Structure 1
Amino acid sequence: MNTEHGILFSDAYQKSLKEQFYHADEDPEHGARLFFENSGGSLRLKKAVEVKCAVEQFPDCPERVRGRGLELQSYVKNGTKEILEVVFGAKSGALLTELSASQAMYQAVGAVMENVKWGTNAVTSSLEHPSAHDAVEYYCNKTGREFRVVPANKTTGGIDPDEVMKYVDKDTCLLSIMAASNISGNIMDIKEITRRAREINPDIYVVSDAVQHAPHAVIDVEDWGVDIANFAPYKFFGIRGCGYAYVSDRVAVMPHHKLIHKEADVWSLGTPTPANFAAMMAVIDYVCSIGSHFCDAADRRALYVEGMNRIHLQERALLYRMLEGTKEVPGLRHIKNVEVYVDMEDLTYKDLIIAMGIRGIEYSECVQKYLEHGVTVFERLRSSMYSKRIVEALGIEGAIRVSPLHCNSADDIDRFLKITAKIAESVS
């Protein structure tokens, strides 16, 4: 599945997938548009929104053992199992649920940092989302540990395993490295980073923020060997208002916020929200349906993995087209005045996210020009608390982040490139 330039879905199949999302080609109030800002919140799968609405209609308590309550309870029970086993690829461990993936990250990191009594430092990277970076820094300050930050590779836009090992030692209690960058799109080698970190310290706890990576490729906590990973449904074709994290067996039983008389590995606090689990199961069903289009596996995890691999191949093909273009439409690498930041030839290490700029046009102004041409993208600036540390780590002033989705077509990419060329031509 490591095809260098990806594999596009057939036109008919791509169209059938796009039809399963709300407002994929137009906003009902603002008109036709290309929505290339999925990294800030993806297009919404219709079935996820619809089942959320349907389940929310019932007032019954999902902790009752009869009638409608029992049915609602099944969404929580089955959803928990599917998120752990199918999405995270976990064979054990527990599921942590919160209102957001950021809250889930803080809870999990806090449990480790406050309960582990050994270790004098914790390590993260300069590319982390603030929720991961700041969680480690916060608990280092709270527990009196040294806070260490691994610098980015300014050429690739990633975090190199060799560089990480310069910061990890036998006294490192926790290491947190994101699965993929939310600005450069670079995919980190979490498995190799974890393996080498455990050669230095077999007891180290490893965390990976997978929020950005989850909509693009497979998460496999068993293969990666991590103790904590999280994702956000609203960036993964689903809904806002919930975040999920996997915690390994050894983290699951650590003291944490829970009702005293519940089992040691229970991380839910209060009455659960069945509709959120139902919506996430609709997303899982969608990915599995893509898997079943290409293989006849019976196992849900196998179908899901096939589906995500096919999504990744489709997105790699779209990424290659966006960068290189065609004979008729030049790609970003070939349009005068356009800069592609932290670009690299090997796209097998990239998710479908591009950081770019147009010389002579300030980033916010450029995003507005795109909007006037019916394209939604987003600027990442040093003036933003979410972006300052990351763009500085990459050695750039800022960037326009362009993030299409697997259901976009080659024609969508060509349209974006034509608009980009038109905007770039306006530079004097």
Structure 2
Amino acid sequence: MQCEAVGEFMSESLLKEVRDKFYYVNWSPHDGQRIFLDNASGSLRLKEMVQRVERELSLPDQLGRATSGSKHAGQVKSRGEYDVRLFLGVDGGVVMPAQSATAAAFRVVEEAVANFRGSNVVTTALEHPCIYDSTQIFARMYGKEWRVAPFDVRTGRVPVQSVVDIVDKETSVLAIIHGSNVTGAYNDIGAIVTQARKKNPDLCIIVDGVQYAPHAPVDLTEIRPDAYIIGCYKSFAKKGIAFAWLSDRFAAIPHRKLIGKKPHEWELGSMDQADFAAWSSVVDYWCWLGSHFTKSSDRRSQLVAGMKAAERHETALLERLMYGTPQRRGLRSLTGVTAYCVDDGLSERACLVSFNLANMPAPAAVDAYVSRGIAISARVSDAYSRHILERIRVDSVVRLSACHYTSPEEIDAFLDVTEDLIKTR
């Protein structure tokens, strides 16, 4: 089976430069040489990010003081907030830091359900539990109906109409994932927002962009949500920090804050400027990569160019993974492999595939891959994935998730190991 080529690999020389900017790209201090195909669990870390965070963490001066060091901390924080907006393609709004994307989602969802008028809350069956659970919990807490739009098990996407059908004039909040961490598919957020707001212009819309953000450019001026959430450790930075961008309308609602703070203040407690420096390092990296694809000196233009190049590279990886090469078969052609939710082609999705090997439970398959030098993970029927796997009608899946620093040769090696595992069963 062949596919229409829509991806494009980065040059070997540029890919080598990219890989050199990350720690542990092809080995682990614990396991030695390995191929890293578990990016959806947490990406590799940028070397410059780690070094910049270390520098900032060593500084003693705190925000809001009279010293030069304090002023420096404020500048680093301000630039980090600016870089969140730059990354999202938006000028205004409020940047809310949080300990994690889940913490950000729970806070944003609760404030939205509590404050926006309406008697029901809408989400989808494809959500990460930070949205799936929080919408259910707070709908119940505030006496509202919880509605769930189904996803298409053939494609791993939520059809626009399945969301629009359950939105009405009484819907207060719609919370939806941009890219799935189980199926790899991207939802058409722009169309969903547009059509949902035709039915209810006052609807509050929250988008979980954690899995989408590392793989393709985001432009909030196009999709126009009220809140958009990103998790930094999925995007080459570090754990312990995530951001939610809030529209001016959202930021103005009553919310938990110190009484003496300004009305649009959403930060609770003092944040470490190192967290903001971490994110600026990510944006600087994307601009560096983009400078190889555009002559523009504008940082947003560079960032978008870099992310589009990464997206093309990942699509080429996905093509190779699914359809193979003249020398080896891809997952589509391997007898004994079942790949889920990829029936509509390879466009508009990350290089993330959930699959199973015949007669081998997913956890056992993961152990077999790891023993052969491939870092990969399983999704099982637990608090994170049960509601999605139930709809696919499986108890567990093996999840491969690549990134733009993954090489074609690493995909080839994975396919060779997969064929060997099938033969030895």
Q: What SS does the corresponding residue of 1:156 show, helix, strand or coil?
A: coil
For 2:420, the equivalent position in structure 1 comes to: 422
For 1:406, the equivalent position in structure 2 comes to: 404
Task: Give the superposition deviation at 1:66.
Answer: 3.0
| Count of residue correspondences | 422
For 2:11, the equivalent position in structure 1 comes to: 10
Aligned-partner Cα distance in 1 for 2:361–2:393:
17
Contact 1:4 1:347 in 2 (8 A): no
Aligned-partner Cα distance in 2 for 1:99–1:40:
17
Deviations 1:200-220 (A, max 9, x none): 001001111000111001122
Whichever residue aligns with residue 190 of structure 1, its letter is: I
Task: Give the superposition deviation at 1:65.
Answer: 3.9
Contact 2:361 2:396 in 1 (8 A): no
Relative to structure 1, the CA distance from residue 4 to residue 66 in structure 2 (aligned partners, 3 Å threshold; closer, same or farther) is farther
Identity of aligned residues (%): 32
Task: Give the superposition deviation at 1:159.
Answer: 0.2
Q: What SS does the corresponding residue of 2:177 show, helix, strand or coil?
A: coil
Whichever residue aligns with residue 246 of structure 1, its letter is: W
Whichever residue aligns with residue 215 of structure 2, its letter is: H
Q: After the TM superposition, list the runs of 4 or more consecutive aligned residues in structure 1 that deviate by more than 3 angstroms.
A: none
Aligned-partner Cα distance in 2 for 1:390–1:65:
52
Aligned-partner Cα distance in 2 for 1:224–1:394:
29
For 1:249, the equivalent position in structure 2 comes to: 248
Superposition RMSD in Å: 1.2
Q: What SS does the corresponding residue of 1:43 show, helix, strand or coil?
A: coil
Q: Which runs of 5+ in 1 are unaligned?
A: none
For 1:54, the equivalent position in structure 2 comes to: 55
Aligned-partner Cα distance in 2 for 1:107–1:220:
23
Task: Give the superposition deviation at 1:4.
Answer: 4.6
Structure 2 length-normalised TM: 0.97
Deviations 1:233-286 (A, max 9, x none): 101011010110011111111111222222211111211210011111011000
Structure 1 length-normalised TM: 0.97
Whichever residue aligns with residue 95 of structure 1, its letter is: V
For 1:291, the equivalent position in structure 2 comes to: 290
Task: Give the superposition deviation at 1:91.
Answer: 2.4
Aligned-partner Cα distance in 2 for 1:33–1:231:
28
Task: Give the superposition deviation at 1:345.
Answer: 4.5
For 1:397, the equivalent position in structure 2 comes to: 395
Contact 1:126 1:150 in 2 (8 A): yes
Aligned-partner Cα distance in 1 for 2:138–2:301:
37
Contact 1:91 1:222 in 2 (8 A): no
Aligned-partner Cα distance in 2 for 1:398–1:343:
17
Aligned-partner Cα distance in 2 for 1:220–1:321:
29
Residue 204 in structure 1 maps to residue 203 in structure 2: yes
Aligned-partner Cα distance in 1 for 2:137–2:30:
42
Q: What SS does the corresponding residue of 1:294 show, helix, strand or coil?
A: coil
Q: What SS does the corresponding residue of 1:177 show, helix, strand or coil?
A: strand
